[in-house]
Amino acid sequence: MANFKFQIPKPKAQIALLVGAFLLLAAVAWGIGWAAHGLLDRQTTPPATTAEPAVGAPTSPALAATSVQPPAPHPTSTLRPTSTPVPTLVVTPTAEIEIVQHEEGLYQVCRRHCPERWPPDDADLKEYARGVARLNGLPWPNPALSPGQRLRMLPCP
């Protein structure tokens, strides 16, 4: 057997042959996709059920053929868009104001602002008071308070 080489001598002919082969391959892939789509639709379609005629419904074939039947729902395999969640409105609490009473320190103001929240010597009270001092631009650990001074308070923990 002799060596046989298939050669196309002109470059334009080579390009045309490659483009034709690509188009043929694309057409075959498109056909396979439609065939698969048809098979999937056939598999997801529910079998037809025979309904018994209702009382007073026409019983003769001629009258039954003229009665109007609603079309059976046909399931589709198309994707449906999903809804976008609506952003919720977040209400930030307004800063509450406490007025410093005579001979009152920051811990007492914090206890009065959130009554029955902290037992004596609670570490959370110290953190809360530190946050209130920072919110009001007061020095820590010994903020100087004067009677009648207005303090912005953090929300109670």
Please check whether residue 60 lies inside any domain of the structure: no
Q: Is residue 128 part of a domain?
A: yes
User: Quick one: pLDDT at residue 14?
Assistant: 84
| Cα gap 109→50, rounded to integer Å | 79
Residue 101 covered by a domain = yes
Task: Flag whether 86 is in a domain.
Answer: no
Number of domains in the chain: 2
CATH of residue 119: 3.10.350
Which range marks the domain in which residue 126 is found?
96-153
- % of the chain residues with pLDDT over 90: 9
What are the pLDDT digits (tens) for 10-52? 888 888 888 999 999 999 999 998 888 887 777 665 555 555 5
HSE-up (13 A, CA, CB side) for residue 65? 3
Q: Is the pLDDT of residue 128 over 80?
A: yes
Rounded Cα distance between 20 and 59, Å, is 60
| 107 located within any domain | yes
Q: Residue 96 forms beta bridges with which residues?
A: 153
Helices (H), the chain: 11-44, 61-66, 106-113, 123-136
Q: In the structure encoding, which two tokens stand for residue 151, read together?
A: 């303090």
91-111 pLDDT, tens digit per residue, is: 555 668 888 888 888 888 888
